């Protein structure tokens, strides 16, 4: 018996050593902002210091005198997700029309720095966007948000309806979850909500990030090594993993959408969804369209969670046609144009 117990203890010790060794082999340190900036900035990248210690990364592109469109990305993403729309609406030679398109990185995402101890929430992100809007002296703009960014966008529109003349919700979140315990959710999100999340936070999650991205697209060929590296590396900016973990663990504690709350949104609203979205049920888009007065619903066939990347031509054209109708009515036209 002593030999048996001794052998068992030795085996347990070996397993523990291997586990600890494996953990440190997979552990990944933070990546300095300067290193990430060298990889992921563009010539249009700008920074602004906001109250509370946030240093926000943003891009302001297109005609500065044209109607303004402000875009908010989703969870774990960055302003890079909007590059197809920026090219088609503001910067490309074949652009649909002249727009001023502003994209930003939320705290804990992309190249935006948040102070130590930052408490992430939809409301905190909404307030960070509001501080950015004040810093840029923006008014009379269209606001669009993707996924979690859509939740931030409609909360912003509820809080500041006088600023938002058009609202665009792209596979937006915010309704209570109806699927059985996130049955179709990518493994990375399930693990981040598990008791092991604090340990997993610091490990190499490249494979899980790839799986999560592939779940976001019908055409998985769009998920290339460069996209996976960008998501993985930007999540390792100092403090970002703590904020991303906060969001996943506190996801169900925010104020959900209800028909009563959304009825206050009186601005023209465009609602997008992909019919193959595995992250946000497509029926949520119908709920937004039903609850928001003057809302239009567009469903993209054979498209997943990120139509701005998976179907950039169709989605940007739908945005342009929607905004052009509003511009014709002068709601988004610059003051000089509206006065003519």
Range from 102-116, 177-191, 296-310 carrying the lowest mean pLDDT: 177-191
- pLDDT score, position 331: 54
Range from 54-68, 173-187, 194-208 carrying the lowest mean pLDDT: 173-187
Q: How far is CA 42 from the centre of its chain?
A: 19
| Selected residue with higher pLDDT from 291 and 180 | 291
What predicted TM-score, i.e. pTM, was given to this entire model? 0.86
Each residue's pLDDT tens digit, 64-107: 999 999 999 999 999 999 999 999 999 999 898 889 999 999 99
**Confidence band (pLDDT; 50, 70, 90) for 26?**
low
- pLDDT score, position 197: 54
- pLDDT score, position 250: 73
- pLDDT score, position 187: 54
Q: How far is CA 276 from the centre of its chain?
A: 18
| Burial profile 91-111: b = 16 or more Cβ within 10 angstroms, e = fewer | beeebbbebbbbbbbbbbbbb
| Selected residue with higher pLDDT from 169 and 25 | 169
Q: What is the mean pLDDT of residues 46-65?
A: 97
Q: How far is CA 298 from the centre of its chain?
A: 20
Q: What is the mean pLDDT of residues 234-260?
A: 88
pLDDT at 340 exceeding the cut of 60 = no
- pLDDT score, position 337: 34
Instruction: Please name the helix (run of DSSP H) or strand (run of DSSP E) that holds residue 190, with its range, or none.
Output: helix 187-192
Range from 66-80, 150-164, 245-259, 288-302 carrying the lowest mean pLDDT: 245-259
- pLDDT score, position 27: 74
* Burial class for 19, CB neighbours closer than 10 Å (0-12, 13-18, 19+): exposed
Range from 127-141, 176-190, 229-243, 283-297 carrying the lowest mean pLDDT: 176-190
- pLDDT score, position 74: 98
- Tokens matching residue 135: 């810093």
Range from 27-36, 125-134, 161-170, 248-257 carrying the lowest mean pLDDT: 248-257
Instruction: For residue 335, count other CB atoms closer than 10 A to its CB.
Output: 10
Q: Phi and psi of 306, rounded to 5°?
A: -130, 70
Range from 56-60, 74-78, 251-255 carrying the lowest mean pLDDT: 251-255
- pLDDT score, position 193: 54
- pLDDT score, position 336: 33
- The percent of residues in the chain predicted with pLDDT above 70, rounded, is 81
Q: What is the mean pLDDT of residues 283-309?
A: 97
């Amino acid at each position: 018996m002593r030999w048996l117990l001794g052998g068992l203890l030795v085996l347990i010790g070996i397993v523990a050593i291997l586990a600890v060794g494996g953990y440190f082999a997979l552990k990944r340190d933070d990546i300095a902002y300067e290193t990430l900036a060298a990889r992921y900035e563009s010539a249009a990248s700008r920074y602004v210091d906001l109250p509370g210690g946030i240093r926000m990364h943003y891009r302001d592109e297109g005609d500065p005198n044209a109607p303004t469109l402000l875009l908010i990305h989703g969870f774990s993403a960055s302003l890079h997700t909007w590059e197809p729309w920026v090219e088609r609406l503001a910067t490309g030679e074949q652009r649909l029309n002249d727009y001023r398109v502003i994209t930003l990185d939320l705290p804990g995402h992309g190249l935006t720095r948040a102070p130590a101890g930052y408490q992430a929430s939809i409301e905190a992100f909404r307030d960070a966007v509001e501080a950015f809007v004040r810093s840029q002296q923006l008014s009379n703009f269209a606001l669009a948000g993707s996924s979690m960014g859509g939740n931030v966008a409609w909360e912003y529109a509820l809080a500041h309806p006088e600023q938002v003349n058009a609202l665009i919700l792209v596979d937006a979140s915010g309704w209570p979850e109806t699927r059985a315990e996130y049955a179709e959710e990518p493994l990375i999100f399930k693990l981040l909500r598990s008791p092991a999340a604090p340990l997993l936070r610091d490990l190499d999650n490249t494979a899980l990030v790839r799986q999560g991205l592939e779940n976001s697209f019908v055409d998985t060929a769009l998920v290339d090594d460069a996209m996976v590296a960008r998501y993985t590396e930007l999540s390792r900016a100092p403090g970002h993993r703590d904020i991303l973990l906060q969001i996943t663990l506190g996801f169900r504690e925010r104020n959900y959408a209800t028909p009563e709350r959304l009825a206050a949104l009186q601005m023209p609203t465009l609602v997008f969804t992909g019919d193959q979205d595995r992250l946000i049920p497509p029926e949520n888009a119908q709920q937004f369209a039903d609850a928001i007065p003057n809302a239009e619903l567009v469903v993209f066939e054979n498209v997943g969670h990120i139509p701005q990347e998976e179907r950039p031509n169709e989605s940007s054209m739908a945005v342009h046609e929607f905004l052009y109708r509003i511009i014709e009515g002068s709601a988004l036209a610059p003051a000089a144009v509206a006065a003519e």
